[in-house]
Every structure is written in C-alpha cells, then in structure tokens.
Chain A
Amino acid sequence: MADNPNPDMDFAEAQAPETKPKKKGVKRRIFLIGSALLAGGAAFGVYWTDNSAKTRAKALTTGDGEHNFLSWMKIAEDDTVTVYSPHIDFGQGSHTALGQMLADELDADWDKVKVEQAPADLAFANTALGQGFLAELSGYPGVINALPQAIIGMIARSLPLQITGGSSAIRFTGEVGMRSVGAAVRLALIEEAADRLGVPANELTTANSAVTHAKSGKSLRYGALAAGAAGRSLSGDPVLKTRDQYTLIGKPIVRRDIPAKVDGSAVYGIDFTLPDMRVATIAAAPVRGGALESVDAAPAMAVKGVEQVVQLPDAVVVVAKGYWPALKGLQALSPTFSDGGNAAISTPTIYAAQDTLRKAGKPDNEGGEGDVDAAFKAAGANVVNAEYRVPFLHHAMMEPFALTGHFKDGKLTIWGGLQDPLSTRARAAKAAGLDMDDVIFNPMIMGGGFGRRFPDIVEAIDQIALLAKQVPYPVKLVWSREEEVRHGTYRPQSSAALTASIKDGKITGWRTDYVQSGNAEGEVPFIYAIPATSRRHFAYQSNQIDGPWRSVNATQIGFYTESFMDELAASAGEDPYQFRRKHLPAGSRHLAVLDMVAKRSGWGTPLPEGVGRGIAIVESFGTVVAEVIEASVKADGSPKVLKAFAVVDCGTTVNPLNADAQIMGGLIMGLSSAIGEAITLDKGAVVQNNFSDYPILKLADAPPAVDVHFIESGAKTGGIGEPGLPPASPALANALAMVSGKRIRTLPLLTQAKA
C-alpha cells in the first residue's frame, strides 16, 4: 500500500478458512492488520492473539502490581481497573460511557474504574472500530451506510485506528470492543478463582470486582486474581449480558472530567508549557491555495520579545517569548502572498457554478428507486419545486489550535489535542521527513472539535513539525481566532433543487438534485416511503478544503428534505406532522419517534399570537431524531427560539445524562448555524474574521430548556454526538414559516429574515 502511513504495519487480505457457515451474499474475509487478527463477516466476536502488541502495551502502561489484558485494560492488585479508550474525549463524554460498557460486563465496582486515553501507539490501535468497519464492508448492512464517506475515507487511511468521528465510539468501540473485553476478562477471572478455590466455575458469581462462591461463602477480589487471570487465554466470543442484566449501562453516571473543568485545573493543549518554551503565532495565505511570496522580518524583530520570524511555504510565523509579543510581531509584518489562481472565487460565483453544474444534468452519483420522471408526468399530479442554499460553516471550537513541538536528538515530540493520535504521528512524520517511530505524540484535552481536529485536515500539524525543526527550543504554535475563522475546513457550501409530485394527498415522486463536494447517499437515509425517488449528487469542489462538520452531510440534506416536506404539506393543504406521518412506514422507528415528539410538544394545541411551531425528523449515524421548535420573530427580524423538544431512538442509551447533553448541544449548534452562521468568500479569501462577524448563538437566544426524550427501542446502537443537530434548522425554518408565511430557503435565517 503506497499510502500506508504506518510502514511497519502489514495489511493483507485472504480468504477465510472454511470454519463457519457461509452467509448468503457475504464474502468472508480475514484482514491481518499489524499483529492483530480481525475477522470480517463473522459475528462481532473479538479475536485475540497473544502477540507483540500485548507485550508493548504492557511495557507502556503497566507498573508494579498491575496486570494488562490485551491493550484495552489493566487490573491493579488494589482492584483498580484502568480502561484505555482509543477515542479522545473532547467533551462528548464517551470515556465515561465506554468505561460503563466495559465495567458492566466485567462486573467491576464503578468506584474503582478509571478511564484513560490510550497512548498514541500502534499497540493501542482500535481493533474494534476496524472490525466493525470491516465487517460492514464485507456485507453486514447498517453501520457503514450511516457513516459519512469523508469519515470512511479517513478510517481507511488511518488504519490502525484511534480516530474519533462518525459517532462511532459507542456503536463500534463500545459494542464490539469494550463489552467483549469486559466479558472475556470476567471469564478469565472466574477460571482463575475456580482453580484457586477448587470449585467448578459454574458455581461462581461476580459482582463489585469480586468472584464469590456462595456455597462456601468464599470470595476473591479481582486484584488478587489479576496476575493469574492475565496469563490465561481470553475467550474470543464471550456471551454478553442481556438488557435486563445491565448494572451500569443505561445509568446516569456523572462524568469524572468535570471537577477539573470547573476550577480551572484541567490542562488543555493551549495550556501546556515546557521550560524554555517559546510561543509562536501564524498567518497563512489569505486565499486558500496561495503561497508566501516575500516578507521583511525587520518590523517583527523590532517588537520586544520577538525572537525569530520563520517562513513556511504558505505562511509566516513569528516566534516570541509569549503569545502577545508574537501576535504584535505578526501584526507588524506586511507579507505578500500569491492567490494560487483562485482570486475570482466568491460565494456568488460558487452558487452560480453549482447551478450551472446541476442544470447540465449529469450527476456523479444517483440513489433512489422507481421512475421519478413518470411520476412527475402522471395525469393529475401536482408538481412542486424549490431551491435551497446553505453556506460554508466554521467549526468554531472554543480552543484555537495550539500544538507544542520539540525537536531534539532527531526525535520530534508533539503535545496537543487532535481527533486521531496515531494519524497525527503519521502526518507529522511526513511533514518533518522523519520515520513515524521518531515522532511522539502526547494527546491533550481539547476545547471542542466538532470535526475540525481530524489530522487529515489539520495543516497545523505540518506547521508545528516544520517550525519545531527550525528552532532550538520547544515551541507552542497558537492560532489566533482570526486564523481559525479564515483558515477553516468548512462544512461545504451546498445547494439543491427539489421536485416532488403529489397526487390524492400523497407524494408519488421525489427528486433531490444537490451540488457539493461529497456524495451524501447512504450517509443520510431517505426515510419516507414514496414509490419513486431520486437523489442525484453533482460533485463540485471550490478552492476550500471541505471538512466534516458535526453531523457532516446530514445538516444540509436534513434541511433540504425537511423544509421541502413542509412545503409539500402546505401544497397539499395538510398539517406537517400528519403529512409526514402518512409517508412513514407503519410500525417504523421513525413513526414512533415522530408520534412521541408530537405528543410531548403538544402538537396541534393553540399557540400565542406570533408564535410558530415547526417539526422535522432526520435519521443520521444510525439514530432517529425528531424535533419540534417553537419560535417567534423579534422586532429586528431575527428569530427567537422559545421551546425545543427532541425525541431520540439510538437503540440503547448508555448514559442518559450524557446523551441528553449531546442531543441538547447538537440541537443548539444546529439552531446557531441556521440563525446566524456563514463563511463567505470574496476574491478567493474568507470574509469573516472573528466572533464579531461569525455570530454563535448565545444563551439569551437559545431555548431556556430542551425537552429530550429517549425511546429505548433496543435497535442496533446508534450515535449520539451528532444526530441531535440536523432536525434543528428545518424545524426552526418551518416554525418561522408558520409565523410569517415566508419560506426561508437560504441559510442563515438572519440575513434572510432581515432582507
């Protein structure tokens, strides 16, 4: 594999030995990744091998009296269980939820369980994510179909995996990895206890980190059994608990990272410091694709505290004793940059190019079924059209990029917060011209991410790698907010034309023609039962680097589909909830979710004068979410959100406290983007600078409370970090249309409402 970022990793594919019955339509495969054996196409069993990864994991993490189980967990002789999460936790609470899943199967005492970030080492690669991923590739439906292509691409490129994204932590790592590991280690502890006590294993029970023999009243703590159990082979396919046996899954357990986040003691990447460390800040070419032509360093060097001006191919960096002199030095410079031939690109030219591409009628991808054109032409069909547009969106993580690098004795060490520690090492190694073994990465707490911190799209990794090699001391590169806003990897600017035919009050045909960089087919399921549907993707790439933005393509596709559903309901003269209802399959999860949100929000009950109510339902990342928003219009024309309701079916809710927070936060981020957020381009460069012209929703404009309700359907576990977002913008637009009679088809609403 030419692109393999990890040259010491083997990747091979072979036909599986004929040991298990062949499933219809499924080509069984075995993937060999490094020293870990993954079987795709089989049930989600976890296949262990005693190998060098285990030895290395042990060397990296176990101290005296601690016993390592694979590279997933260890047990200390004082009973402390440490779980290693291959995912980073940037506030989504997945460390707590993953720990709950493992500890539940292990029957561990929660007070003695710690969850830590796995070291950025191949020994801690996330085989569960790989396994879930590969099993899907080899024929199991469902999860791959709910993963954005951008994320799949990143996963494929970053094997072995420590990636966090695609709402994958719980549904892959938790369901496939954590639970199986916990269950397998529990069995090893029972076997060890059975031998020690000289009793049959089936007479033993486990609870609170101890194995008990009820007949004799004897009991052994996990800590006392750990040494022996760690030497035993682990079951590859342990029986997992059933829902009624859960002791921790589904419980509202508080997060352990919160106390350090209320007293200022949590150390984020930007807070990291080393003796003799310098601080640097950067200005990259304003036009994406441009390069640094020239810069006179003198004005910066004249600023007290500035030590060096470093030129990178497309940026200039000022290194100083602190951030303030570095910023002052940078502001004193007048660098010239080329525009990469992109100076003619602007927001209007992108929309115009997208319209032209769409009207040429040659889609790059198409999904759907039935004959849409025939449905549109059928006698008596009422055909409705609408065009929608959404802008580039900035992630606006509150902590700007801040990476510390130190190049010494041929080795580069980096500290900071990124969504995939292993591929961070690979990217830094490539940029610095080093072997991956000569790059060490220390993951730190992150002040938000929302998709911006995937190493694939983080040029700051190249910047710190190049910078660290040019200075003799440790250096922390901190992006200004302006650099963040102007050099984002945005949710793509996208536009769509929707057409549908209605006959006898039902939709007979539906077409969505959308133009943007990525194909969203498969990622965002079309949930309505309509005889003829067509979703055509027209690929358009601007000069920007498009990045996955929380919930990825489900934001704009959800906005298009659910706004248009309301337009069709209006055209048919029907209530938007009832109209959706009759197009959802009877007995479906979607119908249950929709009915529940209508019930909880009091759909149909009278509203005060000037208040509108909007509904929307979107499935993304394997989770179905319906939301109802009540809103009015303020004197200045901007929307005021009064009430918000969300009903969620993610199969099983692992931690209700945290899931509630994720849905609430996603809904508010969706409202924020719909109301005020837009990145626009002029002469190829981003127009916006800071929060002053990229407004994030504030507390006063957010709903005072969000009523979040979960339906525990027991369906395959879905994601929770992203699915709360997509229904929010169409639900709000639908509410405002009810108040004003004016349909908003271009986001953000604020510019439209005031226009």
Chain B
Amino acid sequence: MATSFTVNGKQISVEAEGDTPLLWVLRDDLGMTGTKFGCGISACGACSVHVDGAVTRSCGVPVSEVAGKSVTTIEGVKGADGSLHTVQQAWIDAQVPQCGYCQSGQIMAAIALIKATGSPSDAQIDEAMTNICRCGTYPRIRKAILAATGQAAATLQGAA
C-alpha cells in the first residue's frame, strides 16, 4: 500500500504495510538511519522525530497515520546551506554525546521544546526531556539547552 507524506520538505511515497511504524519506514525503506531504534514501545525516545512540528516517537506511529503530514528527522534540521541548527551547535559546544545513540532523539525533543517555550525553565526541561540516555549525559543536555536558548535570545536582542 502506498502512503504519501513529506520528509524533510520532500514529498515521498512509500510502498509499506499501513501498520509499519514510521521508524521502520524511515530506516528500512528510506535508508534514513539517523533516527534510532531503542525500545519499540515509545518508552525511550531514541526514535523521536517531528510530525507536523510536534515531537513524536516514531516507533509507535503507523505510517498510515502520517499520510499527508510533514515529517522532520535529525537529517532535516540543518539549514539549507548545511549549517548546523543552533541546538546541534550547542550539543557540540557542550560536548554532550558519549555513545551518541540517543542524541538524535534528544536533539529532536530539545528543538521542539525550545520552539514551544522560547526559553525553557529547568522545570520545563525536566518535564519535556524524557528520553533515556544510558551514558548519563543529562547534565550536559540541560546545559546545552540553556546555552542554545541563551544564544537565540542574544541573537534576537542583537537583531532588534
């Protein structure tokens, strides 16, 4: 069965059973492996993507449900010129990743949080950042989110 939706701004159509989770369509059918498999039950967040802008755990969403929608993955968050997203740069500056496996999902969750709140408080970070990191990078994730929003705020002030 063919399902059409957009991925990172590109219109695509995939032949996949309707119950196939979006995660496996991205990874196995489209070869986009930046989105990771961690648990298969929407518990860990390694597979986080944006669907119509909302952070979504793609292992729990059948591809039939994203028909006509817009999906953004970690491969799609850089600027058109290839420049890193502010959050990606903050992740490098804070040297967040260790094994790195969960970080695509962490970054997708952080981008959605920052989009929703502008400058998230510690409590908002606690509430939104529920993805699992076994390496224990949480303090640096928090630091990177705060730095990314500080940078965004400074840019806005500079532009004003």
Contact = CB atoms under 8 A, between A and B. Distances in A.
Contacts of A400: 37-38
8 contacts: A257-B97, A265-B75, A266-B100, A270-B33, A271-B33, A324-B17, A324-B21, A702-B139
Contacts of A264: 32-35, 73-75, 104
A399 B24 contact: no
A273 B27 CA distance: 10
A267 B44 contact: no
A377 interface: no
Contacts of A658: 95
State which size class the interface on A falls in: 35 or more
Contacts of B96: 258, 262
Contacts of A478: 37
B17 A699 contact: no
A140 interface: no
Given A322-B24, A690-B39, A447 B132 contact: no
Contact of A667 (B34, B77, B100, B136): B136
B19 to A, nearest CB: 8
A448 B74 contact: no
A262 B135 contact: no
A482 B44 CA distance: 13
Contacts of A93: 98
A268 B33 CA distance: 9
Contacts of B133: 398, 699
A699 B129 contact: yes
A391 interface: no
A259 B132 CA distance: 20
Contacts of B40: 327, 480-482, 690
Interface in B69-120: 73-75, 77-78, 84, 88, 91-92, 95-104, 107
B31 interface: yes
Nearest to A721: B98
B24 A448 contact: no
Given A91-B135, A450-B134, A259 B41 contact: no
B82 to A, nearest CB: 10
A263 B33 contact: no
A325 B19 CA distance: 10
Contact of B126 (A327, A696, A699): A699
B125 interface: yes
B141 A324 contact: no
Interface in A688-747: 690-692, 696-700, 702-706
| Consensus secondary structure, chain B interface | loop
B97 A398 contact: no
Contacts of A672: 136
Contacts of B39: 481, 690-691
Given A263-B74, A265-B34, A698-B130, A448 B99 contact: yes
Given A264-B35, A690-B39, A699-B142, A324 B28 contact: yes
A213 B95 CA distance: 39
A304 B18 CA distance: 12
Contacts of B129: 698-700
B11 interface: no
Interface in A613-631: none
Q: Most chain-B CB neighbours within 10 Å: which of A398, A399, A447, A704?
A: A398
Nearest to A725: B136
B50 interface: no
Nearest to A663: B136
Nearest to A257: B100
Contacts of A700: 126-127, 129-130
Interface in A305-329: 305, 321-325, 327
A267 B99 CA distance: 12
A90 interface: yes
A324 B46 CA distance: 17
Nearest to B87: A262
A481 B99 contact: no
B65 interface: no
A660 to B, nearest CB: 9
A647 interface: no
Contact of B101 (A323, A324, A399, A705): A399
Contact of B29 (A260, A322, A398, A705): A322
A691 B25 CA distance: 23
Given A691-B41, A696-B132, A704 B142 contact: yes
Contact of B137 (A255, A268, A661): A661
A144 B112 CA distance: 49
B132 A398 contact: yes
Nearest to B144: A262
Nearest to A484: B39
Given A399-B99, A699-B126, 20 more contacts: A258-B96, A261-B97, A262-B91, A264-B33, A279-B28, A305-B17, A321-B28, A322-B28, A325-B17, A398-B99, A399-B101, A447-B36, A447-B101, A448-B134, A482-B40, A661-B137, A668-B138, A669-B135, A691-B132, A699-B142
A699 B102 CA distance: 13
A51 B20 CA distance: 55
B122 interface: yes
A535 B127 CA distance: 45
Contact of B100 (A261, A305, A449): A261
Nearest to B129: A699
Contact of B139 (A327, A448, A480, A705): A705
Interface string A243-265: 00000000000110111111111
